């Protein structure tokens, strides 16, 4: 018997328009690397608030209540999201570029930022936001530092906390 005809070429499987697997000619496309972790919720909400504001300015959407209706959320929730626009621009930028969350909860919660967003003076917002970062840094460094350093750091954070609380009382009254 004679030898049969051999034809060789590369193939790969892909997805068709209906999601069905198809046999396709050629090399498989390179795999897309997904970054580790999730984008923090506050980053997504900040981006949404900016996009919603653009929709309102362009006239595509009339007001917050229409956005709430389209998004299937309450008007109160829409107001909470849009209040993120009241934050100082550098705080907004910081929120947009937070690193992905790989374990546990997000480092920054939207609820925490509501208290900051109601303060109309950006310099005070920055003070409070910086204070929260200081507390987070001292909390992590306390376990690594000596006890006398931890006490000194604790005294500084208590003093800062009382200053910030006093500023909050003044701005809210």
**pLDDT category of residue 130 using cuts at 50, 70 and 90:** confident
Distance CA 57, CA 64 (A): 11
Looking at residue 135, its pLDDT comes to 43
Looking at residue 62, its pLDDT comes to 93
Looking at residue 163, its pLDDT comes to 62
Distance CA 86, CA 106 (A): 21
Strand segments (E) across the chain:
11-15, 21-25
The pLDDT of 34-45, averaged and rounded, is 87
Looking at residue 7, its pLDDT comes to 81
Query: Which tokens in the block code for residue 34?
Result: 């997904």
> Which of 19-28, 90-99, 131-140, 144-153 reaches the highest mean pLDDT?
90-99
Looking at residue 168, its pLDDT comes to 57
The pLDDT of 2-18, averaged and rounded, is 82
* Res. 13: pLDDT tops 70: yes
Q: Mean pLDDT score of the chain, rounded to an integer?
A: 79
* Sign, Cα dihedral of 92, 94, 96, 98: negative
The pLDDT of 132-142, averaged and rounded, is 46
Please give the share of the chain, as a percent, with pLDDT higher than 90. Answer: 34
pLDDT (tens digit per residue) in 104-114: 888 888 888 89
Has this prediction a pTM greater than 0.75? no
Distance CA 71, CA 41 (A): 16
By mean pLDDT, which of 48-57, 59-68, 79-88, 129-138 is the weakest? 129-138
């Amino acid at each position: 018997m004679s030898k049969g005809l051999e034809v060789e070429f590369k193939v790969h499987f892909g997805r068709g328009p209906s999601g069905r697997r198809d046999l396709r000619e050629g090399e498989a496309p390179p795999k897309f690397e997904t970054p580790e972790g999730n984008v923090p919720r506050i980053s997504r909400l900040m981006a949404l608030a900016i996009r919603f504001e653009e929709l309102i300015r362009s006239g595509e959407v009339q007001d917050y209540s229409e956005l709430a209706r389209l998004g299937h959320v309450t008007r109160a929730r829409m107001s909470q999201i849009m209040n993120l626009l009241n934050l100082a621009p550098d705080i907004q930028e910081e929120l947009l570029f937070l690193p992905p969350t790989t374990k546990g909860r997000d480092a920054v919660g939207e609820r925490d930022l509501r208290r900051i967003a109601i303060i109309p003076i950006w310099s005070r917002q920055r003070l409070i936001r910086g204070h929260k970062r200081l507390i987070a840094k001292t909390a992590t460094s306390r376990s690594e530092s000596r006890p006398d350093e931890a006490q000194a750091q604790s005294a500084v954070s208590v003093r800062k906390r009382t200053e910030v609380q006093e500023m909050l009382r003044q701005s809210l009254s």
